[in-house]
Amino acid sequence: MKLPKSHGPLAARRPRRDPGKRVTLRTVANALDLSVTTVSRALKEGPEVNGETIELVKKVARELGYRPNLGGLNLRTGKTNAIGIILPFERQGDMNIVVSSLVEGVSSGMKALGYRTTVVPQLQADDPLQTVRDLVEEGSVDGVILTHTRPQDDRVKYLLEVDIPFVTFGRTELVSAHPSVDIDHELVGEAAARMLLDAGHPAPLLIAPSSQFTYSLQFVKGWTKAFTARNLSVPDKLIHFTPTTPNSGQEVATNIAAWHPEATAAFVASEEAALGFLAGLRLVGRQAGRDFAIVTYGGTKLHDFFNPPLSAFYYSNYLIGERLAALLQRSIAGEDPATLRELVVAELVDHKSQFLAG
Protein backbone atom coordinates (compact mmCIF):
# COMPACT_ATOMS: atom_id res chain seq x y z
CA MET A 1 0.00 0.00 0.00
CA LYS A 2 1.50 3.35 -1.07
CA LEU A 3 0.68 6.61 0.62
CA PRO A 4 -0.76 9.52 -1.38
CA LYS A 5 1.74 12.30 -2.03
CA SER A 6 -0.22 14.60 0.26
CA HIS A 7 0.93 12.52 3.23
CA GLY A 8 4.49 13.79 3.06
CA PRO A 9 3.87 17.25 4.55
CA LEU A 10 1.42 15.81 7.08
CA ALA A 11 4.08 13.59 8.57
CA ALA A 12 6.27 16.61 9.24
CA ARG A 13 3.77 18.68 11.23
CA ARG A 14 1.47 18.08 14.17
CA PRO A 15 -2.11 17.39 13.05
CA ARG A 16 -4.84 19.49 14.62
CA ARG A 17 -7.75 18.23 16.65
CA ASP A 18 -10.86 19.90 18.00
CA PRO A 19 -10.46 20.44 21.77
CA GLY A 20 -12.91 18.43 23.79
CA LYS A 21 -13.92 16.23 20.86
CA ARG A 22 -13.31 12.48 21.14
CA VAL A 23 -10.60 11.18 18.85
CA THR A 24 -11.73 8.07 17.01
CA LEU A 25 -10.35 5.87 14.27
CA ARG A 26 -12.24 8.05 11.79
CA THR A 27 -10.51 11.16 13.16
CA VAL A 28 -7.13 9.57 12.43
CA ALA A 29 -8.32 8.28 9.05
CA ASN A 30 -9.58 11.73 8.00
CA ALA A 31 -6.30 13.36 9.07
CA LEU A 32 -4.36 10.97 6.82
CA ASP A 33 -6.89 10.63 4.01
CA LEU A 34 -6.97 6.89 4.61
CA SER A 35 -9.87 4.51 5.17
CA VAL A 36 -10.92 3.52 8.67
CA THR A 37 -10.13 -0.07 7.71
CA THR A 38 -6.52 0.80 6.83
CA VAL A 39 -6.05 2.78 10.05
CA SER A 40 -7.49 -0.04 12.15
CA ARG A 41 -5.24 -2.60 10.50
CA ALA A 42 -2.20 -0.34 10.77
CA LEU A 43 -2.69 0.12 14.52
CA LYS A 44 -2.77 -3.66 14.83
CA GLU A 45 0.33 -3.97 12.59
CA GLY A 46 -1.58 -6.06 10.10
CA PRO A 47 0.60 -7.79 7.48
CA GLU A 48 -1.44 -6.25 4.64
CA VAL A 49 -0.24 -2.72 5.61
CA ASN A 50 3.34 -1.67 4.85
CA GLY A 51 5.71 -0.52 7.56
CA GLU A 52 5.81 3.12 6.46
CA THR A 53 2.03 3.42 6.72
CA ILE A 54 1.97 1.67 10.09
CA GLU A 55 4.53 4.06 11.56
CA LEU A 56 2.78 7.14 10.17
CA VAL A 57 -0.66 6.03 11.40
CA LYS A 58 0.67 5.29 14.88
CA LYS A 59 2.53 8.63 14.98
CA VAL A 60 -0.53 10.65 13.95
CA ALA A 61 -2.76 8.66 16.32
CA ARG A 62 -0.45 9.53 19.21
CA GLU A 63 -0.28 13.20 18.22
CA LEU A 64 -4.03 13.46 17.96
CA GLY A 65 -4.44 11.84 21.36
CA TYR A 66 -6.17 8.72 20.09
CA ARG A 67 -6.53 5.96 22.67
CA PRO A 68 -8.19 2.56 22.20
CA ASN A 69 -9.96 3.03 25.52
CA LEU A 70 -9.83 5.05 28.73
CA GLY A 71 -6.86 3.04 29.92
CA GLY A 72 -4.64 4.28 27.11
CA LEU A 73 -3.74 0.78 25.96
CA ASN A 74 -0.79 -0.15 23.80
CA LEU A 75 -0.96 1.19 20.25
CA ARG A 76 1.63 -1.31 19.13
CA THR A 77 -0.62 -4.30 19.69
CA GLY A 78 -3.96 -2.55 19.47
CA LYS A 79 -5.28 -4.88 22.19
CA THR A 80 -7.85 -3.54 24.64
CA ASN A 81 -8.74 -6.77 26.46
CA ALA A 82 -12.37 -5.73 26.11
CA ILE A 83 -15.25 -6.84 23.92
CA GLY A 84 -18.58 -5.22 23.17
CA ILE A 85 -22.05 -6.79 22.99
CA ILE A 86 -24.73 -4.72 21.24
CA LEU A 87 -28.26 -5.29 22.52
CA PRO A 88 -31.25 -3.88 20.63
CA PHE A 89 -34.35 -2.80 22.55
CA GLU A 90 -37.40 -3.21 20.36
CA ARG A 91 -39.77 -0.76 22.03
CA GLN A 92 -39.05 2.21 24.24
CA GLY A 93 -40.12 1.65 27.82
CA ASP A 94 -41.16 -1.97 27.34
CA MET A 95 -39.83 -4.64 29.66
CA ASN A 96 -36.84 -6.58 28.40
CA ILE A 97 -36.49 -9.36 30.92
CA VAL A 98 -34.29 -11.97 29.28
CA VAL A 99 -31.12 -10.19 28.17
CA SER A 100 -29.49 -10.16 31.61
CA SER A 101 -28.77 -13.90 31.59
CA LEU A 102 -27.27 -13.66 28.09
CA VAL A 103 -25.02 -10.78 29.20
CA GLU A 104 -24.08 -12.70 32.34
CA GLY A 105 -23.05 -15.72 30.26
CA VAL A 106 -20.98 -13.60 27.87
CA SER A 107 -19.35 -11.65 30.71
CA SER A 108 -18.54 -14.80 32.67
CA GLY A 109 -17.01 -16.47 29.63
CA MET A 110 -14.96 -13.43 28.61
CA LYS A 111 -13.80 -12.74 32.17
CA ALA A 112 -12.38 -16.26 32.36
CA LEU A 113 -10.41 -15.43 29.21
CA GLY A 114 -9.07 -12.16 30.61
CA TYR A 115 -11.51 -9.79 28.89
CA ARG A 116 -14.08 -7.37 30.25
CA THR A 117 -17.45 -6.91 28.56
CA THR A 118 -18.98 -3.61 27.49
CA VAL A 119 -22.76 -3.63 26.97
CA VAL A 120 -23.91 -1.22 24.25
CA PRO A 121 -27.69 -0.60 24.24
CA GLN A 122 -29.22 0.04 20.82
CA LEU A 123 -32.34 2.10 21.38
CA GLN A 124 -35.35 2.07 19.09
CA ALA A 125 -34.36 5.35 17.38
CA ASP A 126 -30.72 4.32 16.86
CA ASP A 127 -29.32 3.34 13.47
CA PRO A 128 -28.17 -0.29 13.96
CA LEU A 129 -25.24 0.05 11.55
CA GLN A 130 -24.08 3.35 13.04
CA THR A 131 -24.15 1.83 16.52
CA VAL A 132 -21.68 -0.81 15.35
CA ARG A 133 -19.56 1.75 13.44
CA ASP A 134 -19.27 3.96 16.51
CA LEU A 135 -18.13 1.05 18.68
CA VAL A 136 -15.53 -0.10 16.14
CA GLU A 137 -14.23 3.34 15.23
CA GLU A 138 -13.61 4.40 18.81
CA GLY A 139 -11.26 1.41 19.00
CA SER A 140 -12.29 0.43 22.51
CA VAL A 141 -12.87 -3.30 21.91
CA ASP A 142 -11.04 -6.27 20.40
CA GLY A 143 -14.23 -7.96 19.25
CA VAL A 144 -17.98 -7.56 18.92
CA ILE A 145 -21.05 -9.70 19.64
CA LEU A 146 -24.24 -9.01 17.69
CA THR A 147 -27.76 -10.31 18.25
CA HIS A 148 -30.98 -10.10 16.19
CA THR A 149 -29.36 -10.87 12.85
CA ARG A 150 -31.05 -10.21 9.51
CA PRO A 151 -30.71 -12.24 6.30
CA GLN A 152 -28.61 -9.55 4.57
CA ASP A 153 -27.23 -7.89 7.69
CA ASP A 154 -25.41 -4.62 6.98
CA ARG A 155 -23.72 -4.76 10.38
CA VAL A 156 -22.18 -8.13 9.55
CA LYS A 157 -21.09 -6.89 6.11
CA TYR A 158 -19.38 -3.93 7.79
CA LEU A 159 -17.57 -6.06 10.37
CA LEU A 160 -16.34 -8.38 7.63
CA GLU A 161 -15.10 -5.35 5.69
CA VAL A 162 -13.16 -3.79 8.57
CA ASP A 163 -11.84 -7.21 9.57
CA ILE A 164 -12.57 -7.01 13.29
CA PRO A 165 -13.29 -10.27 15.16
CA PHE A 166 -16.97 -10.82 15.89
CA VAL A 167 -19.62 -13.46 16.47
CA THR A 168 -23.38 -13.29 16.03
CA PHE A 169 -26.21 -14.81 18.02
CA GLY A 170 -28.18 -15.80 14.96
CA ARG A 171 -27.36 -16.56 11.35
CA THR A 172 -27.51 -14.56 8.14
CA GLU A 173 -27.90 -15.52 4.49
CA LEU A 174 -24.62 -13.88 3.44
CA VAL A 175 -22.23 -15.80 1.22
CA SER A 176 -19.21 -14.97 3.39
CA ALA A 177 -18.84 -17.29 6.37
CA HIS A 178 -18.81 -15.63 9.77
CA PRO A 179 -18.74 -16.92 13.37
CA SER A 180 -22.19 -17.56 14.83
CA VAL A 181 -24.12 -19.39 17.52
CA ASP A 182 -27.78 -20.07 16.80
CA ILE A 183 -30.77 -22.16 17.79
CA ASP A 184 -32.26 -24.47 15.16
CA HIS A 185 -35.38 -22.32 14.78
CA GLU A 186 -36.61 -24.16 11.72
CA LEU A 187 -36.69 -27.37 13.76
CA VAL A 188 -38.54 -25.57 16.57
CA GLY A 189 -41.15 -24.15 14.19
CA GLU A 190 -41.77 -27.55 12.64
CA ALA A 191 -42.05 -29.31 16.01
CA ALA A 192 -44.39 -26.67 17.44
CA ALA A 193 -46.75 -26.99 14.47
CA ARG A 194 -46.78 -30.79 14.79
CA MET A 195 -47.55 -30.57 18.52
CA LEU A 196 -50.55 -28.33 18.02
CA LEU A 197 -51.89 -30.24 15.02
CA ASP A 198 -51.48 -33.56 16.87
CA ALA A 199 -53.39 -32.06 19.81
CA GLY A 200 -56.39 -31.56 17.55
CA HIS A 201 -56.13 -27.87 16.61
CA PRO A 202 -56.97 -27.61 12.88
CA ALA A 203 -55.69 -24.06 12.33
CA PRO A 204 -53.21 -22.98 15.01
CA LEU A 205 -51.73 -19.47 14.89
CA LEU A 206 -48.04 -18.61 14.67
CA ILE A 207 -47.14 -15.46 16.62
CA ALA A 208 -43.61 -14.85 15.37
CA PRO A 209 -40.98 -12.16 16.02
CA SER A 210 -40.53 -9.35 13.51
CA SER A 211 -40.05 -10.71 9.99
CA GLN A 212 -36.94 -8.57 9.51
CA PHE A 213 -34.99 -11.06 11.64
CA THR A 214 -33.55 -14.29 10.27
CA TYR A 215 -34.76 -16.47 13.12
CA SER A 216 -38.37 -15.40 12.59
CA LEU A 217 -38.21 -16.48 8.95
CA GLN A 218 -36.73 -19.80 10.10
CA PHE A 219 -39.71 -20.32 12.44
CA VAL A 220 -42.05 -19.73 9.50
CA LYS A 221 -40.10 -22.11 7.27
CA GLY A 222 -40.31 -24.95 9.82
CA TRP A 223 -43.96 -24.18 10.60
CA THR A 224 -44.87 -24.34 6.91
CA LYS A 225 -42.87 -27.54 6.47
CA ALA A 226 -44.98 -29.33 9.10
CA PHE A 227 -48.24 -28.27 7.41
CA THR A 228 -46.98 -29.20 3.95
CA ALA A 229 -46.05 -32.68 5.16
CA ARG A 230 -49.75 -33.17 5.97
CA ASN A 231 -50.94 -31.65 2.70
CA LEU A 232 -52.24 -28.64 4.58
CA SER A 233 -51.89 -25.02 3.51
CA VAL A 234 -50.84 -22.19 5.83
CA PRO A 235 -52.89 -19.05 5.14
CA ASP A 236 -50.88 -15.88 5.64
CA LYS A 237 -53.61 -14.57 7.95
CA LEU A 238 -52.74 -17.26 10.49
CA ILE A 239 -49.17 -15.93 10.88
CA HIS A 240 -48.65 -12.70 12.82
CA PHE A 241 -45.34 -10.88 13.33
CA THR A 242 -44.87 -8.80 16.46
CA PRO A 243 -42.07 -7.46 18.67
CA THR A 244 -41.03 -9.88 21.39
CA THR A 245 -42.34 -7.88 24.34
CA PRO A 246 -45.15 -8.44 26.86
CA ASN A 247 -46.94 -5.31 25.59
CA SER A 248 -46.95 -6.63 22.02
CA GLY A 249 -48.09 -10.09 23.08
CA GLN A 250 -51.00 -8.63 25.01
CA GLU A 251 -51.99 -6.45 22.05
CA VAL A 252 -52.05 -9.44 19.68
CA ALA A 253 -54.08 -11.57 22.10
CA THR A 254 -56.72 -8.90 22.62
CA ASN A 255 -57.26 -8.84 18.86
CA ILE A 256 -57.61 -12.63 18.55
CA ALA A 257 -61.36 -12.56 19.21
CA ALA A 258 -61.89 -10.20 16.28
CA TRP A 259 -59.29 -11.63 13.93
CA HIS A 260 -59.74 -15.34 14.64
CA PRO A 261 -62.81 -16.08 16.78
CA GLU A 262 -62.50 -19.76 15.81
CA ALA A 263 -58.84 -20.06 16.88
CA THR A 264 -58.06 -22.52 19.66
CA ALA A 265 -54.23 -22.53 19.76
CA ALA A 266 -51.05 -20.59 19.03
CA PHE A 267 -47.31 -21.00 19.04
CA VAL A 268 -46.11 -17.74 20.62
CA ALA A 269 -42.42 -17.78 19.69
CA SER A 270 -41.21 -15.62 22.57
CA GLU A 271 -41.63 -16.09 26.31
CA GLU A 272 -41.89 -12.35 26.83
CA ALA A 273 -44.66 -12.06 24.25
CA ALA A 274 -46.33 -15.15 25.77
CA LEU A 275 -46.45 -13.42 29.15
CA GLY A 276 -48.44 -10.58 27.62
CA PHE A 277 -50.45 -12.99 25.46
CA LEU A 278 -51.79 -14.75 28.55
CA ALA A 279 -52.87 -11.42 30.02
CA GLY A 280 -54.49 -10.42 26.73
CA LEU A 281 -56.52 -13.63 26.56
CA ARG A 282 -57.94 -12.93 30.01
CA LEU A 283 -58.94 -9.43 28.92
CA VAL A 284 -61.13 -10.89 26.15
CA GLY A 285 -62.64 -13.58 28.37
CA ARG A 286 -60.52 -16.49 27.21
CA GLN A 287 -58.16 -18.64 29.24
CA ALA A 288 -55.10 -20.70 28.40
CA GLY A 289 -55.73 -24.37 29.12
CA ARG A 290 -59.50 -23.97 29.11
CA ASP A 291 -60.38 -22.71 25.63
CA PHE A 292 -57.01 -21.74 24.17
CA ALA A 293 -53.78 -23.77 23.91
CA ILE A 294 -50.32 -22.17 23.87
CA VAL A 295 -46.79 -23.37 23.19
CA THR A 296 -43.88 -20.95 23.56
CA TYR A 297 -40.11 -20.61 23.13
CA GLY A 298 -37.27 -18.89 24.95
CA GLY A 299 -33.99 -18.79 26.82
CA THR A 300 -35.31 -18.50 30.36
CA LYS A 301 -37.57 -20.74 32.43
CA LEU A 302 -40.46 -18.29 32.65
CA HIS A 303 -42.67 -20.94 31.09
CA ASP A 304 -42.52 -22.93 34.35
CA PHE A 305 -44.07 -20.03 36.29
CA PHE A 306 -46.87 -18.95 33.96
CA ASN A 307 -50.46 -19.68 34.97
CA PRO A 308 -50.92 -22.27 33.63
CA PRO A 309 -47.31 -23.41 32.96
CA LEU A 310 -46.67 -23.53 29.23
CA SER A 311 -45.00 -26.15 27.07
CA ALA A 312 -41.87 -24.53 25.71
CA PHE A 313 -38.88 -25.04 23.49
CA TYR A 314 -36.10 -24.03 25.85
CA TYR A 315 -32.43 -23.13 25.58
CA SER A 316 -30.23 -21.48 28.20
CA ASN A 317 -29.46 -17.84 27.48
CA TYR A 318 -26.59 -18.09 29.96
CA LEU A 319 -24.99 -21.06 28.17
CA ILE A 320 -25.48 -19.36 24.80
CA GLY A 321 -23.63 -16.37 26.23
CA GLU A 322 -20.74 -18.62 27.26
CA ARG A 323 -20.62 -20.16 23.77
CA LEU A 324 -20.61 -16.71 22.16
CA ALA A 325 -17.68 -15.76 24.37
CA ALA A 326 -15.75 -18.92 23.49
CA LEU A 327 -16.23 -18.43 19.74
CA LEU A 328 -15.34 -14.75 19.94
CA GLN A 329 -12.07 -15.59 21.69
CA ARG A 330 -11.27 -18.08 18.93
CA SER A 331 -12.15 -15.45 16.33
CA ILE A 332 -9.81 -12.97 18.02
CA ALA A 333 -7.13 -15.67 17.90
CA GLY A 334 -7.54 -15.81 14.12
CA GLU A 335 -9.28 -19.15 13.58
CA ASP A 336 -11.07 -19.82 10.29
CA PRO A 337 -14.60 -18.31 10.50
CA ALA A 338 -16.02 -21.34 8.68
CA THR A 339 -15.13 -23.48 11.72
CA LEU A 340 -16.72 -21.08 14.22
CA ARG A 341 -20.40 -21.87 13.75
CA GLU A 342 -22.58 -23.72 16.24
CA LEU A 343 -26.23 -24.77 15.96
CA VAL A 344 -28.04 -25.60 19.21
CA VAL A 345 -31.15 -27.78 19.43
CA ALA A 346 -33.76 -26.43 21.86
CA GLU A 347 -35.16 -28.78 24.52
CA LEU A 348 -38.90 -29.40 24.76
CA VAL A 349 -40.30 -28.78 28.23
CA ASP A 350 -43.74 -30.39 28.05
CA HIS A 351 -46.36 -28.94 30.42
CA LYS A 352 -49.19 -30.28 28.20
CA SER A 353 -50.41 -26.73 27.46
CA GLN A 354 -50.98 -27.74 23.84
CA PHE A 355 -54.12 -29.54 25.02
CA LEU A 356 -57.41 -28.12 26.28
CA ALA A 357 -59.09 -29.24 29.50
CA GLY A 358 -61.88 -31.74 28.96
Superfamily of domain 185-315: Response regulator (3.40.50.2300)
pTM of this structure = 0.80
Same fold for the pair 82-183+317-344 and 185-315: yes
C-alpha torsion sign, points 219, 88, 303, 257 = negative
How far apart are alpha carbons 317 and 301 in whole angstroms?
Answer: 10
In percent, how much of the chain has pLDDT > 90? Answer: 72
- pLDDT for 1 equals 44
pLDDT at residue 246 tops 60: yes
Question: 82-183+317-344 domain in CATH 3.40.50.2300?
Answer: yes
Average pLDDT of the residues in 189-210: 97
Choice among 84-98, 100-114, 235-249, 325-339 with the minimum mean pLDDT: 84-98
73 pLDDT tier (thresholds 50, 70, 90):
very low
140 pLDDT tier (thresholds 50, 70, 90):
confident
Q: What is the pLDDT of residues 40-57, one digit of tens each?
A: 888 888 888 999 999 999
For β-strands 143-147 and 311-314, DSSP reports them as: unpaired
Q: Give the 3-state secondary structure of the chain.
A: CCCCCCHHHHHHCCCCCCCCCCCCHHHHHHHHCCCHHHHHHHHCCCCCCCHHHHHHHHHHHHHHCCCCCCCCCCCCCCCCCEEEEEEECCCCCCCCCCHHHHHHHHHHHHHHCCCEEEEEEECCCCCHHHHHHHHHHCCCCCEEEEECCCCCCHHHHHHHHHCCCEEEECCCCCCCCCCEEEECHHHHHHHHHHHHHHCCCCCCEEEECCCCCHHHHHHHHHHHHHHHCCCCCCCHHHEEECCCCHHHHHHHHHHHHHHCCCCCEEEECCHHHHHHHHHHHHHCCCCECCCEEEEEEECCCHHHCCCCCCEEEECCHHHHHHHHHHHHHHHHCCCCHHHCEEEECCEEECCCCCCCCC
- pLDDT for 21 equals 62
pLDDT at residue 124 tops 90: no
Domain extents in the chain: 25-68, 82-183+317-344, 185-315
Superfamily of domain 25-68: lambda repressor-like DNA-binding domains (1.10.260.40)
- pLDDT for 80 equals 84
pLDDT at residue 95 tops 70: no
Average pLDDT of the residues in 176-188: 97
Average pLDDT, the chain: 89
